[in-house]
Chains A and B, each alone.
Chain A
């Protein structure tokens, strides 16, 4: 066996989720482990305005045999996705040492070509209780959390699906094939809009590929990035409105931050294969450039309630923590002491 020292050098953090009450943060890595952080101390001190650092992990769960590629939070559950499996754990139970997954959903593997598909991203529609899983079999599967049954499958990508986001009535997915598809799941099987960022000359970066690794929805706005540069699209006109920095590296995270600094205007977080995280305005201006302890960032988690906190991690055993979107507050190790 390789020494843990060397193994840790190649650890990658893929996903994060934080509970709605702001008391727990879950971080999933490539070894199938979910690292739990207790935020109650931070939350208590955040109200009094005294700076508090995250403590070392309160628990490390050996959740899956493969990488925890995706996580999403609901009111009661911390849902994690890995190769061929989606599992839900109750937030109220994850602290207990022997707690197991409350439920699991196995992905059907009907096409031998793909092997067992992986869950690359999870989206959650709270109003309907639906979970969207962006999968390696080129499709986005929709599951009803009440029954645990698959209710729908969104087919349209020509390669595996990187990311899926549900916002309001709309669902958007981004794929390795370079397409961004916007669906109205109630309306039918065909996507309502198709976007192809690599066809826009301002965004295209052929040497990096055409894949779209990340996207986010907010009202009429959609932000996405990957091989092409990150860009903001207006959904009604389907027009590219803003090109976002950074120009060089591949993008793995694009995210709207709704009630962050800057009031109603909101901001956009962009990160990728670069040791910096960029916070931009809707106009594409960089408002903050935060250093990262990971050379590449794969996951950014922003929670606004009960206090603003942003955590980001990637190709290292550390995550960085900010309590606003302007500077990095501190860095926490994901290793158990």
Chain B
């Protein structure tokens, strides 16, 4: 049984092949033998087929299975019998075998039929399967259609649910308020309290009513407003007509004021002019006059200049056409002007240089008004500072003049002229270049060298910008807190208008207020220092001996020994070129201790045949910045600080240790003569200490020791005793 199952498939395939072959054989035979026979055969074949179908239906597969196995068993037993007969060979074995063979063949036939029946059964079940599968497919398709329909319907439902009605957007009065406020005919409480829809309709109705009312109210109020405006206009016209009458009255009172010497009007006039000032000068005026009134009655502040021109300028600025006068507009105007000028010039054949000059003039143009501050000193001398505003460059410039009580003798070097007085009032502020970084480009475009024009325009000192409240990014490092204060100051003071965008300067009046006292003090001190320096220079120019150097006697006693052998022979101013040419000054120039800003002098000091040449550089900020000397000694060759350590010590004594000579500011004013005197003393010591060491070969070059010192040299650098101890009257090394 088991084996049969396993081999079932293979047997069926072989049976199928055999059958096909037979069928082909049948067809071939049929074709060869004739067509009539085939019809009958076909019928028989059909009958056989029908029979097989019937058989297949009438029996089950299990029955057939048993039938097959029994047939197989029969065949096997018959085959064994045949084998036995063939081996034993009894009588008539051949017939018996033949008989058995026929039986076997018959059994084989029945097997074959069973196989065919099975085939039919397989075909039937296949057809059945296909049919039922088609049914299932159809149902599945239907299901999918239905599902899709469900989804679509759901979407539609959702859309319906999401629909927004127009009335939902409208803000309505709350329900309670509605019932309180709305009249009965709209609210209809009986119908609407229960029915929410009706309630909503009623509320919408009420909203509509209210809105209509409000629109009406709005129209009414607008009309009222217009009528009020009309009345205001009328009254303003009336007021305006009053002004000329009042001014006429004021005009009429003027002779009376003059007769009574009342300054009311002059002050008013000043106030009026002040309004015409550009904002930086206005800031300056406010701060300076405030400082003058509060602290210092010796400060007078005036505004002078062409008032009409200033008025025109303001009118022009207010003209809407040129209101936002930016750089490019400015340039355009200028170009247009140039063009029109050119047209005119073409007739007169003027060269183009004129045009350039015109551009330069416009670029360097000053505001017609200037603020004049007069700073008086105790001794009656005064400094007048005139502040101008350069409109295009947006910087403040200063011109200075000095008014002295008594006329002074002129010196070779004029240190009290207005031109140089304010030079380097503060550190690095020579007023040679514009503090506004934007100016560099403006000037270089027109190829203007600013220093060439400063004698006309005045100098743009940095402190002047600070006083005028202008701060430039390069002048003051911006920081967060500083920015904050600037913001508040601009918001707080309406007089300082916010600068047009794109400008680098900012008007800050706090800066100005902070700077004012220090600046005025600095100017006063500068004048004092320059008066002192002038007197010293006058003295030195005429001095022909050390003793003729004017030094207050108590300072002389305090700092120097009684007897000086070295004589000051000559004192004269030198140029920067001369100073630069002297090799002894190189280390000072390299270190930028001395610049061309300094006032330069040459002093010759002699002791017998020894000559000391001192190049003296006096800072414009003397005596705050101390003069420096550089020395050249002519004695058996030329010595300088670089090739003579002792001479370097001498330079150091004068340049570095000057602070021992002065203890307060008033003494510091005498610093220059004190330093020269010390130089003379040092040369005495130098010659004597040097003589103490050199082998006494040449008697004429030997200097007798007159100063008291214990050791002519000390330390590895063989220092000379330049330091003087006034109490002991001796010299020692530092």
Bound Cα distance A24, B436 (Å): 50
> Which chain B residue has the least Cβ–Cβ distance from A67?
B715
With known contacts A12-B717, A295-B643, A5–B732 Cβ distance under 8 A: no
B645 within 8 A of A: yes
- Find out whether the CB atom of A114 lies under 8 angstroms from the CB atom of B710: yes
Chain B residues within an 8 Å CB radius of A206: 694-695, 697
> Min CB distance, B255 to chain A, in Å?
63
Chain A residues within an 8 Å CB radius of B715: 14, 67, 69, 118, 120, 136
> Min CB distance, B587 to chain A, in Å?
6
Chain A residues within an 8 Å CB radius of B656: 2, 6-7, 10
A140 within 8 A of B: no
Bound Cα distance A308, B14 (Å): 108
Question: Which of B625, B642, B643, B714 has a CB less than 8 Å from the CB of A118?
Answer: B714
With known contacts A206-B697, A296-B645, A211–B718 Cβ distance under 8 A: yes
Chain B residues within an 8 Å CB radius of A69: 715-716
> Min CB distance, A244 to chain B, in Å?
19
> Which chain A residue has the least Cβ–Cβ distance from B641?
A295
> Min CB distance, A34 to chain B, in Å?
16
> Min CB distance, B416 to chain A, in Å?
26
Chain B residues within an 8 Å CB radius of A14: 715-717
Bound Cα distance A273, B645 (Å): 8
Bound Cα distance A264, B593 (Å): 49
- Find out whether the CB atom of A252 lies under 8 angstroms from the CB atom of B655: no
Q: Which of A1-26 contact B (CB under 8 A)?
A: 1-3, 5-10, 12, 14
Chain B residues within an 8 Å CB radius of A249: 643
Bound Cα distance A114, B625 (Å): 37
A210 within 8 A of B: yes
Question: Which of A211, A275, A315 has a CB less than 8 Å from the CB of B648?
Answer: A315
- Find out whether the CB atom of A209 lies under 8 angstroms from the CB atom of B694: yes
A298 within 8 A of B: yes
Q: Which of B559-606 contact A (CB under 8 A)?
A: 587-588, 591-593
A115 within 8 A of B: yes
Chain A residues within an 8 Å CB radius of B697: 206-207
> Which chain A residue has the least Cβ–Cβ distance from B636?
A207
Question: Which of B591, B644, B658, B710 has a CB less than 8 Å from the CB of A113?
Answer: B710
With known contacts A206-B694, A207-B694, A176–B713 Cβ distance under 8 A: yes
**What is the total of A-B residue contacts with beta carbons within 8 Å?**
96
Interface centre among A9, A69, A206, A208 (most CB of B within 10 A): A9
Chain B contact residues: helix, strand, loop or mixed: loop
> Min CB distance, A211 to chain B, in Å?
7
> Min CB distance, A57 to chain B, in Å?
20
B284 within 8 A of A: no
Bound Cα distance A121, B642 (Å): 24
- Find out whether the CB atom of B716 lies under 8 angstroms from the CB atom of A121: yes
Chain B residues within an 8 Å CB radius of A124: none
Chain B residues within an 8 Å CB radius of A2: 626, 655-659
With known contacts A115-B732, A295-B642, A160–B695 Cβ distance under 8 A: no
A157 within 8 A of B: no
- For B459-470 the 0/1 string (1 means CB < 8 A from A) is 000000000000
- Find out whether the CB atom of A273 lies under 8 angstroms from the CB atom of B711: no
- Find out whether the CB atom of A298 lies under 8 angstroms from the CB atom of B717: yes
> Min CB distance, B664 to chain A, in Å?
14
Question: Which of A3, A8, A273, A298 has a CB less than 8 Å from the CB of B716?
Answer: A298
> Min CB distance, B591 to chain A, in Å?
6
Query: Contacts A160-B711, A315-B645 given; 9 further ones with Cβ under 8 A?
Result: A3-B626, A5-B591, A6-B656, A10-B649, A121-B716, A162-B716, A206-B695, A213-B716, A298-B716
25 contacts between A and B (CB under 8 A): A2-B656, A2-B657, A2-B659, A6-B593, A6-B628, A7-B656, A10-B649, A10-B652, A10-B656, A12-B645, A14-B715, A67-B715, A69-B715, A118-B715, A136-B715, A160-B713, A176-B713, A176-B718, A207-B697, A208-B694, A209-B693, A211-B693, A249-B643, A295-B641, A315-B645
